[in-house]
Structure 1
Amino acid sequence: MIEKKEGQQMEERILRIITLGIISWTTAFHLFRKFLPKRSFEFCNRLVSTVHATVAFTLASLSVEDWTCPVCPLASRPSHSQMQTLAVSLSYLIYDLICCQFDKRVTIDNTIHHLVSIVGIGAGLAYGKISFAVVFSFARMVFGPYLTWVTLTADNPLVIKAMAVGLQLVSAYWFFKIARMMNYKLTKRTASKNLVYTEKL
């Protein structure tokens, strides 16, 4: 009963963070537009992106429980601080998806990127690490290389192309970490079933 109540409180807290986050990112964008009237829509949105990247990096760093092994313990559920960090990023992605629809250039690959990321983080918050791992892996290792290729072959500045490659490399690194975690969990589950079966015999 206590665990159920704590779970409901956490869900309400996450929803508040997401709602407040969307309002905050939108407000920040409008403030940038107001105080930087000569700057473009895209420039102001990139400023919001920079703020989000700084906040997300800080929160993610603070949520690491053991820096000697940041992904330990393997196959564990996310902590409250980690879930709150995901909620902040989810609120930003929802804001950015909506904001990008009002830009002069609306691209289908950018929209897909946002939708997949939103579904992935949402699944991570709702169902825990396993579903998040599956959605993340599919999104980053199937859609990711395609989006990277589109970015590299398009007429983009060198820094944008470098960032696309860098993000894909980071995705590949985390895919390796997730694959290792999944292998550990499945191996542990199989070993547990075999032990139970042996004891019955």
Structure 2
Amino acid sequence: MNYLLEAFYEAIHLIFSLDPEVLNIAATSVYVSAIAIVFASVTAVPLGFIVGISQFYGRGTLITLLNTSMAIPTVVIGLLGYALISRQGLLGDWNLLFTPQAMMLGQYILATPMIMALTVSATQGVDPRVRKTAIVLGANSFQSAMTILSEARFALMAAIISGFGRIIGEVGASMMLGGNIKGYTRNLATAIALETSKGEFGFGLALGLILLAIALFINMLLRFLQQKV
């Protein structure tokens, strides 16, 4: 019990003393995940919306694959990404391996199918009469699509937040693609794993508390937006 209390006190001290290493790790984590989720959202929301409102051959199979991809282990994404950007890979000449950009790529691949699948679900959850009513009232295709998006906006916000939650706490892809380099690619999740394995439980706990605080803030932001929009 004393061990846990001492670790907790150390964690609180590190956080409130604004330890430079802790701040750098947290900033790297937020920066990488924020950029990745922006690009993932820009890609996944329109594609998911199109799949959700369209009817085409193989649509059911595509949706099944999207839903399945949400459960792909992060280390598998890391392995595929490594094969893609390593020196022998297709993008080897870009020198992306062990950089923040490589981590963004891995997190983008993780988040995109998840947001897309949840966008499809959100779009399908809108009452079909909404689109029909908009068309009857004279709306064109674009306006009726915007009406559906407006009706599904809360679910779409939740989809993006869920995607962010999946990537900011992942370890496998970030470790394999970023290399966990101190001061460069070390983020909250990889640092927690490293510091705990070294026996620095207090430091790892401090990072864990920050990660939980970020998750709480994001969910509070979602709640605020849902009340205001």
TM-score, normalised with respect to structure 2: 0.31
TM-score, normalised with respect to structure 1: 0.34
Which protein has greater RCO, CA pairs closer than 8 Å, 6+ apart?
2
Q: Which has the larger radius of gyration?
A: 2
